[in-house]
Amino acid sequence: MSADVIRVSEIFGPTIQGEGALIGEPTVFVRTGGCDYRCDWCDTLHAVDSAFRDTWAPMSAEAIWERVRVLSGERPLLVSLSGGNPAIQPLGPLIAFGRREGYRFALETQGSIARPWFTDLDTLVLSPKPPSSGMVPDWDAFAACVAAAGPARVMMKIVVFDEADYAFARGAARRFPNLPLVLQPGNPAGKHAREDDPADLEALAACMRWLVDAVVADGWFQPRVLPQLHVFLWGNRKGV
């Protein structure tokens, strides 16, 4: 496969950004296939696990961009690059196409791979994985991602399921005190959910309440605590 080919799990929208610092913003999503992590609670296994590789379409940047333009009605919306880990894909040319036409780009990654084209993003969201994920962050690689972003806005988002994840988030904030931080209660369904399964909204709300109570009790007012809005609206469906 050519080094310029991008593996795409799905392209959809426009819809709203359902999580993180850009929550609620009209967005077209380009979800790439493949990831260098295997988080225990991953809720996008269709874009991560190699068992789904046959469902990932090999596409050129030009072909992806034409699809984004059609979906957006050629209106310069936000384009969200996600995965999997989109940083393993050659997305620089795609970003260049969009920037020439006034589109903005946000990318979310765990911060394991730095790319020179990060500097062309509008927003880079780095989401180091907490203990509940079963993964261990490489903080040197994470710092390299921050440096690679250059003038792009860089933010940190951490999923929190429990006390150990909360302590991890406090430590990450101390490591990178200048990064704006979003805390997100974890989706208890995670990888066990099928697309047609309803979300456990009460469990999500309970985790959200616990997390809000924790930051208030600690007087920790650096982070914003935000839900996964798309899960509340559409459950565990793909493509929303």
Instruction: Kindly report, residue by residue over 78-117, the tens digit of the pLDDT.
Output: 999 999 999 999 999 999 999 999 999 999 999 999 999 9
pTM over 0.85: yes
Those residues of the chain that have pLDDT short of 50 are 191
Instruction: Provide the pLDDT for residue 198.
Output: 62
Neighbours of 231 (CB within 10 A): 22
> d(Cα 184, Cα 123) in Å, to the nearest integer?
18
Helix, strand, coil shares, percent, the chain, to 5: 40, 20, 40
Instruction: Provide the pLDDT for residue 227.
Output: 86
The domains found in the chain, sorted by start residue, are 6-234 (3.20.20.70)
